[in-house]
Structure 1
Amino acid sequence: MSHFEDRQKGQEAKFAFDAEKKFKAEARRNKLLGIWAAELMSLSGDAANAYAAEVVAADFEEAGDGDVFRKVSADLKAKGVAVADDVIREKMATLVAVANQQIADEG
């Protein structure tokens, strides 16, 4: 029975590690997306970092990426920046790969 328990604990640890890695990658992606959108809205420095933090916080409103997408899309439109929805979604997909690579590189 000890072998079974060891295997179960190993699987639980892997699941926890994978969940933490996914959370970090999504948060990093959201930050990168916020910085990208901030640049499009001509924000820089502290204002760009503050906006990126708002995008990260927006992800806690509901499960999934919809809340982040809606925030960025609405903010860009409010600033008069014309970016198609599919461009935002494509950027999100690209940045999740970047975020995963950055986290992997950090160890």
Structure 2
Amino acid sequence: MTTFDDRERAFETKFAHDEEMKFRVIARRNKLLGHWAAGLMKLSAVEAEAYAKDVVRADFEEAGDEDVIRKILGDLTAANIEIDDAAIRQALADKTVDARRQLMEAQG
């Protein structure tokens, strides 16, 4: 094998790893966001866990974060909790940091 082939394989491996980590961070973030919203809605622990899983599943509806934001906003509004889009986006950003930190600590 040539050095070029080795470098190409290394870049492909790194890309695959980075994409997997990105997926794991987003899934963890969505679960954390679901638990955050469940706390606002005062759901029980069992209901909160089920709701967090629903939020993770909601992310598969379309690319990007809008499907998750819509679900959270709709559910919180339906539960008569006053919240706006900006607050949910801020929680999304905060949970992204938390998710990344948790995954890095787990790899430790």
Tell me the TM-score range normalised by the shorter chain. over 0.9
Structure 2 unmatched ranges of 5 or more = none
Q: Give the length in aligned residue pairs.
A: 107
Amino acid at match of 2:96: V
2:60 corresponding residue in structure 1: 60
1:42 corresponding residue in structure 2: 42
State the TM-score, normalized to the length of structure 2.
0.97
Give the percent of matched residue pairs that are identical in Structure 1 and Structure 2.
Answer: 50
1:76 corresponding residue in structure 2: 76
Deviations 1:2-40 (A, max 9, x none): 100000000000000000000000000000000000010
Moved over 3 A (4+): none
State the TM-score, normalized to the length of structure 1.
0.98
Deviations 1:40-74 (A, max 9, x none): 01102110000000000000000000000000000
Structure 1 unmatched ranges of 5 or more = none
Helix, strand or coil for the counterpart of 2:83? coil
What is the CA–CA distance in structure 2 between the aligned matches of 1:98 and 1:36, rounded to whole Å? 12
> 1:105 aligned to 2:105?
yes
**Distance apart, 1:103 and its partner CA:** 0.4
What is the CA–CA distance in structure 2 between the aligned matches of 1:52 and 1:82, rounded to whole Å? 20
What is the CA–CA distance in structure 2 between the aligned matches of 1:37 and 1:16, rounded to whole Å? 32
Amino acid at match of 1:36: W
